[in-house]
Every structure is written in C-alpha cells, then in structure tokens.
Amino acid sequence: MYTRPPKILIIDDDVDLVTLLVDYLTLENFAVTPAHTGVAGIAAMSREEFDLVILDVMMPGIPGTEVLQNIRERWKTPVLMLTAKGDPVDRILGLELGADDYVPKPCSPRELVARIRAILRRTATKETGGPVQVGKLSIDLSQRRASYGGQIIPLTGTELALIEMLAHSVGQPVAKASIYPRILGRPMGRYDRAIDVHVSSIRHKLAQVAGNDLAIESVRGVGYQLVVHATE
C-alpha cells in the first residue's frame, strides 16, 4: 500500500500521551511528527505533507475543532479525532467539521493503530475500474474526486468512499452494518452516529450541486440508498 512508512502528525497538548504514541506508532512502522499546540500542528502541515493527522479536541489556545476547520479549508488529509470518553457532542461536532473518524480517550494504542490502518487502507486505495458513473454523478477514487455535471463536490475521503459504496448499489438499500466495517474499519456501535453524520454532510454538499435530482434516502431499520430523481 505504501512504499515508505506512512507519515502521521499528532496534535495534542498532552506531552506524556504524545510521547507514548510516538514510541508505539514508530514501532508499528509509522513516521510520526508530534505537535503540542494547534499553531504548531498547522505549521507542520504547511511544511510537510502527511498521510493522516491525529487531533485532540480539547487543547488550550486554539481548540481542536478550530484546528480541524483550518485543516479542512486547506488540505484533504484524513483526520482522526481524539475525543473525551462519553462526550458525543465533541464526536458529532468533529465529524460535522470534516473529521474522518474519532477515538474516545483514553484509548489503547492498539485500537488507535487499527483505526489508523483502516483509514489509510481506504485513502490509499487505487481503483482500476475507472470512475463510477450514476447519471451526472461521477466518482473517481483514484483521483479522490467526485463531481456532478462537471462541478466538483468537496467531499472528505470518508465521504467519498461512502458515496462510492452507495453508488455501486444505486436504488437499493445498503445496510449500516455493512457500511461501518467497509468505510470506518470497525463494527457499528450501539449508539454510534458516525455514518449518520457523514451522510448528513454528503446530503448538504449534494444539494448544493444537484438540488433534488440526486439524494441519499434513509431506509428505516436498514441503512441508506442513493436515488436518482432526475429524468435523463
């Protein structure tokens, strides 16, 4: 998948935790750069290209949510948020602002590595079958790009993978239980709303370019389906 160790940036003010994670991830063959403030993290991204960012929500100075907004305005780099355990508000807000997934703190380094590898597998995938076409919607994973009628849809990596999965089953429901392991690399938790938030974001972005011609509809008790309303 990678011809070199994947480059990870950790932005977290907890020096002891970051030191632990740097040591562990280095042993797992990642090239890790630590940053203990949001300003330092943004500066690091301006100097160097990373494969993934691990970003803490609760930081002094510039909070993680503001750092995430700054990242999304400038880069498409996948972001894995570290959130307070038992605080769904931070998790949902992070996903709404463009995070790819979240891990509640405290978490085991082993779980963190599993989440990182799941995201990197998805974002590094190079599809050989060409773009997926659904009406005016075109999805090209190899170029990490989606467009509608030639107009680019600014999707995150997770959103792009999700709509591509739904496009392969256009007009048919896709179960949430199938979406979670394929898109996030983990099973769906009992109160997990990560995919719901990603779908909400995709819907908003689709509406801006396609109006009501293309929609992701909820299928009660099952999951979601991509539906074309436009007449060709």
Does 189 reside within a domain? yes
Q: Do both 120 and 149 map to the same domain?
A: no
Q: Which pLDDT score is estimated for 200?
A: 95
Rounded percentage of the chain residues whose pLDDT exceeds 90: 62
Whether residue 2 lies inside any domain: the answer is no
Length of the chain, in residues: 232
Please tell me whether residues 100 and 145 are part of one structural domain.
no
Average pLDDT (125-138) is: 75
Contact at 8 Å (CB) between 96 and 65? no
The structural domain count of the chain equals 2
Each residue's pLDDT tens digit, 170-193: 999 999 999 999 898 888 888 888
Do 101 and 158 lie in one domain? The reply is: no
What DSSP line would sit under 169-210, residue for residue? TTTS-EEHHHHIIIIISSPPPTT--HHHHHHHHHHHHHHHHH
CA–chain centroid gap for 44, Å, is: 20
For the chain, what is the mean pLDDT?
Answer: 89
Q: What average pLDDT score do residues 145-149 get?
A: 92
Q: In terms of residue numbers, what domain contains 139?
A: 132-228
Residue 1 within any structural domain of the chain: no
Residue range 11-69, pLDDT digits in tens: 999 999 999 999 999 999 999 999 999 999 999 999 999 999 999 988 888 889 999 99
Q: What is the CATH number of the domain that holds 213?
A: 1.10.10.10
Q: 86 falls in which pLDDT band (50, 70, 90)?
A: low
Model pTM score: 0.81
